[in-house]
Amino acid sequence: MKIKTLAEDGKTILLSCAAAEAIVKPVGKYVFKTPQNDSHAVRKIYEQMKKTGIVKIGVVSSNTGFGKAGKEQLEKLAPEYGITIIANEVYDKEATDLTAVVTKLKAAGVQAFVNWSIEPAQAIVIKNARQIGLEIPIFQSHGFGNIQYAKAAGPAAEGVIFPAGRLLVAESLPADNKQKAVLVKYKKDYETRYHEDASTFGGHAYDAFTILVKAIETAGLDKEKVRTAIENTQGFVGTAGVFNFSVQDHNGLTIDAFEMLTVKDGKFVPYVEAAAPSAAKKKKK
């Protein structure tokens, strides 16, 4: 957020690869971002909760800018979906044991909880929750979009639900999906070169760099003309979604940029509702 101020004051184009919606709201002149919006991630989570009868939840978030921004959106949008946050905890991003935090969630009797973080500590939350017998749905933010977090949580990550871009499930997309060709190529190129699983985070940098290159190809090297070209970018197919920037929107993505995913057998796969029991059924059982 401090970089945003510097960019605006210095009239320097910034294509941010960070996710917090506050980076582009309110909209400035020189700052854009490529990751999907926090509010859209929250809405995807709450829509899923509403379908399965979850109304009383817990929220845990890290003490970072991303954690704070997500917490605010979760609190702001909960009433719109008939959801009540009955436990709300913030943890240190450097934490190595979060048993005390998840114990408070269990004591509150939450039906599910959302863990909002981009740090390794988010995996510890999941492990500790299962270790104390908290067998309820766990939802993560789009900051969970790196398979290393699931690997760190181990078997405890099975069944975790989260919204993310389609890069993580590129091969399973239908052939007519607008993003599939871009996603499959990026994933193959990245994994061939770096010998590790592609994550959504590298994709955000790829989108930012490619959008900038295309703007320079269109406008030349005049900074103000490049800025205008970015702002007028329409229909750009990236890893995070299909971007349509405007004067009013410096993110350019809609809620449709997200898919709901889950962890199955240690891998990210599309979330299939039919396989998930409703909160009511689970409670009855």
| Whether the predicted pLDDT of 273 surpasses 80 | no
Apex 144 CA angle, 51 and 187, nearest 5: 110
- CB neighbour list of residue 67: distance below 8 Å, 6 or more residues apart: 61, 90, 93, 116, 117, 118
Which pLDDT value is given to residue 19?
Answer: 82
pTM reported for the whole predicted model: 0.88
Structural domains for the chain: 2-33+174-257 (3.40.50.2300), 39-164+259-284 (3.40.50.2300)
Which pLDDT value is given to residue 255?
Answer: 96
pLDDT tier at 282, thresholds 50, 70, 90: very low
> By mean pLDDT, which of 42-46, 98-102, 173-177 is the weakest?
173-177
Give the model confidence (pLDDT) of 207-256 as tens digits.
Answer: 999 999 999 999 999 999 999 999 999 999 999 999 999 999 999 999 99
Percent of the chain having pLDDT more than 70?
A: 95
- What does the mean pLDDT of the chain come to? 94
Across residues 130-155, what is the average pLDDT? 96
Angle between helices 99-108 and 121-131 (to 10 degrees): 50
| Whether the predicted pLDDT of 274 surpasses 90 | no
Give the model confidence (pLDDT) of 28-74 as tens digits.
Answer: 999 999 999 999 999 999 999 999 999 999 999 999 988 999 999 99
Q: What is the CA radius of gyration of the chain?
A: 19
Give pairs for 23-31: CB < 8 Å, separation 24+.
Answer: 24/249, 24/250, 24/251, 27/247, 27/248, 27/249, 27/250, 28/4, 28/250, 29/227, 30/227, 31/4, 31/7, 31/250
| Whether the predicted pLDDT of 165 surpasses 50 | yes
| Whether the predicted pLDDT of 278 surpasses 80 | no
pLDDT tier at 149, thresholds 50, 70, 90: very high
Which position has the token pair 């991630």? 41
Give the model confidence (pLDDT) of 103-118 as tens digits.
Answer: 999 999 999 999 999 9
Q: Is 140 exposed, middle or buried (0-12, 13-18, 19+ CB in 10 A)?
A: buried
Joined together, the tokens standing for residue 232 give 């007028």
